[in-house]
Structures are given as C-alpha cells and as structure tokens.
Structure 1
Amino acid sequence: MTSRVLFVSPAMSVALRQARFDDGGSIDDAGAARARSVAGSLPSAVRVLMSSGVRCRETAAALGLDAVPVPELAGLDVGRWRGRTLEEVGAAEPEAVGRWLTDPGCAPHGGESVRDLCARVGRWLVDAQGLEGRTLAVVEPEVVRAAVVDALGMPASLFWRLDVPPLSLTELSGRAGRWNLRLGRPPGALEAE
C-alpha cells in the first residue's frame, strides 16, 4: 500500500512579509485571493488535515477545504519570541538567535526545539504511512520542513536550508518504511490525479 501526503503551506500573511514569528494573525487579502484562485486545482484526498493556527485555518477555508486540526501538525512553538520579528529578537538576543539557527536541539525562547518539532512530525508520518489513499494537510512551513527532514533521514541541522514558499505543495509518498519526495509544484500547475 502506498500512502501519499500532500502538504500545502499557508497563504501569505502580514507576519510572514515582516519576518515575524507567527503571531496568530490572518492571511492577507492577496494571499486569500490567491488561495481562492487555486481552490479547484488540488487533487481529491481521503482526509484533509491542518495545523491549528489561524493562517492554516484561513488558507484551508479559502481553498474550499473542510480540514480537521491535528495537534501533531501544529507549527513550531517559539515561546516568548511569538509575535516578534527576527530582527527584533536578533537585536535583543543575538547569541540566542545564533544558537537557535545553528543548533537544532536549542530552544532559547522557551518553546520547542527544531529537533523536537522534527521528531513530533516524524511520529505523525509513521502513522500516516499506514493510511490508505491521499492525505491533504494545510500546515505551517516549518512543519513541511520537519516532514522532509524526517522522511529523507536528513540531519536536523539542514532544517533552515529548506525554503517553503506560501501556497506551495510538497508531496511525500511512501510504503514499507520509506518515503519519496515530490516538491515545488504550485497549486495551479497540478495535473488531474
């Protein structure tokens, strides 16, 4: 049995434009319009899931999806840095930001480390590999990164080297404990599957 997980990253938001740690803000008007414009291009799925954050909920709604939030697919908990820009945090805590960006086990913000996020998403992938059919999941970019890192057995130190643009698609297909990666398809370019 082959399982497929198609990850959709959320639409653009003001926080993303400002390089701000997720602050629970909404997607912006342009992001919502872009999501609505590609709503019919996503392939059908047996199950539709999402991160519980506002951006993912609003993106799923704009895509016309009735998605169910899954705690294991929540975005990275950045603790006390939530809502602040990377520039603000870098100015106030340069050593902490430096450690955080280079040591995946570090969580100077009091939240979750990148390594812990990768492990959490990896546990979810183990369960997902036993599911028949396609799973569509609207998730934060860091969840996509964590899934790719875990699925391909990459070191967590490569997490920040993966770019996940808004409304991009990343697909994992797997069986027998092995995942394959298909990435970089914009929603409007999907072929009928």
Structure 2
Amino acid sequence: MKVLVAHASRYGATQAIAERIADKLTEAGHEAQARPVEAVADLAGYQAFVIGSAVYFGKWLKEGTDFVRRNRASLAAGQPVWLFSSGPLGTQTTGANGRGVRAGAEPAEIAEFRESIHPGHHRVFLGALDPGKLGFRDRLIKALPAGRTLLPEGDFRAWAEIDTWANEIAHELAQAPIGRRAGEPTE
C-alpha cells in the first residue's frame, strides 16, 4: 500500500519522527514516503496517510494545519488517516495540574480534524530541542526565565514508542481493505 507520511517540522525533530514512521512502514512491506507538507502538491496515488506536526504553544504549525484543511475532502474520502503531534519536552509525565503531560498536550486543531477527516488515531510524542538550531524568535523565548523552564534542552523522543505505533499502523493497513478506514468494522 502506498502511504504518505507528511510532516510540518520547524527544526527537524518532527521530520525525523516522520522518517522513522515511513521506514517502519516500508520494512513492513508498504511503500511509504516521508515528505514535508509544503512539498506535497497532490494526494492522488496514495492509499493511506500519516500526518504530523510540531506543536508550539498548543497548536500545530500553520503549514501542517493548512495542509489538512486544504486537503480535507481527500483526507475524508475513505482512505486510512493517522495524525501525530510532536512537542512536549522534558521527562515529566504529569504536569502541575496533575494531568498527564501528553494528555494535556493535544493541540487545539485535533478536535476539528477528528470531526472533519475522522483519523484512526492521534498520538502525541515527546519532542527534541537543540538550542543550536533555534531561530531568532525561539532563541528570545528560550532566553526568558519562563522559556528555560518551558523549553528544556535535549532529545526526549521515545523511539521504541514511535516504532510500536508505526508497527500498529502497518498491521492495521495490512488488515484494512483499500477504501476502508483502518479500525472500521467489516460487514
């Protein structure tokens, strides 16, 4: 099955997650391509989609959100779709409010996407922050006392968890007839 793993990534951490997912899907026998959302002009020819974005301040990057909205009709047409977000940083599992860090990190757009394109799953993965790659605006935010707390440096991505999710997608793709969403009951 031909799978597009589209990503919106500012500094490369989300791109690396997308590439890892595409590699795992390819290992499982699917034809998977990881591509930046800006490089995808047409969804024709793909039979499944995994779409991810980096998350900043509780929202997907504009490029990722625009991609889903622009392709809403195609993504809602019946092929399997999965979404992922990359963003929370650090090793804490619960936030100050006592909720799970990732549960509270679901981006604002995901509710809209669930309603409009009906993805099979949405996963939030921990991200990575390399201060040497930060742009001017993000360096300014990082320089603030609150910025240092909100933006800890390091690679917090859980590769085994990402691999497990990609393998689950590969399994669902193998079980889903073309034109039926993964996870949908068969008649």
Query: TM-score, with normalisation over the residues of structure 1?
Result: 0.33
Of structures 1 and 2, the one with the larger relative CO (CA 8 A, separation 6+) is 1
Normalising to structure 2: TM-score of the pair?
A: 0.34
